[in-house]
Amino acid sequence: MTSLDFSVDNVEVEPYAVTPNLTVRLRMSETTGATVRAVALRAQVRIEPHRRPYSDAEGEALHDLFGPRERWSSTLRTFLWMECSTVVQGFTGATVAALPMACTYDFSVTASKYMHGLRDGIIPIVLLLSGTVFTDGPRGFSVQQIPWDRSAAYELPVEVWKLLMATHYPASGWVRLDHETIADLVRFKAAHGLTDLDSAVRQLLTASQVQR
């Protein structure tokens, strides 16, 4: 039986990817001395918001997700960021695998809202790991499952997330809108001689603030 332990060495921005991608440098250690031929690895990446403090500005930005601070003892719960996978080449002893994480800046995604609300510090994440390990056996390949209790925690710097989004969406972000809402915005933009939808939204927000 093989026994694998996991830890995260680093999380890096992939600068030449077409879409926003982070790469986890995941250290894998085999502690029995067996030779691992390959690993089909799966990871569920979860955010643990209770593992860090928040400034007043961050608390205000996260109100939509967690409510007022007096409720955070019950609302600041771990939530899913993404699921990802990779195939790890054979090794003996230990290796560092590259686990790709495809990210989005879509504000309908809880994780994007959360990370957008952070000013600095860290994003506390944990990788819950599973998959299949292929090793040498008495009759050829031996196939084993990674136990469900394997995990690796990491404190991802907020600056890494900001760099990733600045690389792909400089000074911008994504908001999902209904088709009719987009059509109404386009008509508003044309009627007021505006150059883009951002200007249309800005003018509507300004008008709303004046009316208050």
Between 204 and 21, the higher pLDDT residue: 21
Cα separation, 96 vs 6, whole angstroms = 10
Mean pLDDT of the chain: 90
Give the pLDDT mean for 96-105: 93
The 10s digit of each residue's pLDDT in 114-150 is 999 999 999 999 999 999 999 987 677 789 999 999 9
Answer for the pair 160, 15: CB distance below 8 angstroms, yes or no. Answer: no
- Give the model's confidence band at 15: pLDDT under 50 very low, under 70 low, under 90 confident, else very high: confident
Residue 4 tokens, joined = 């694998």
| Lowest-confidence segment of 32-41, 55-64, 69-78, 193-202 by average pLDDT | 193-202
The 10s digit of each residue's pLDDT in 170-203 is 766 667 777 888 888 888 888 888 888 778 888 8
Give the pLDDT mean for 26-30: 95
Q: How many CA atoms, within 13 angstroms, populate the side-chain half-sphere of residue 168?
A: 22
Cα separation, 201 vs 194, whole angstroms = 10
Q: pLDDT exceeding 70 applies to what percent of the chain? A: 95
pLDDT at residue 185 in the model = 82
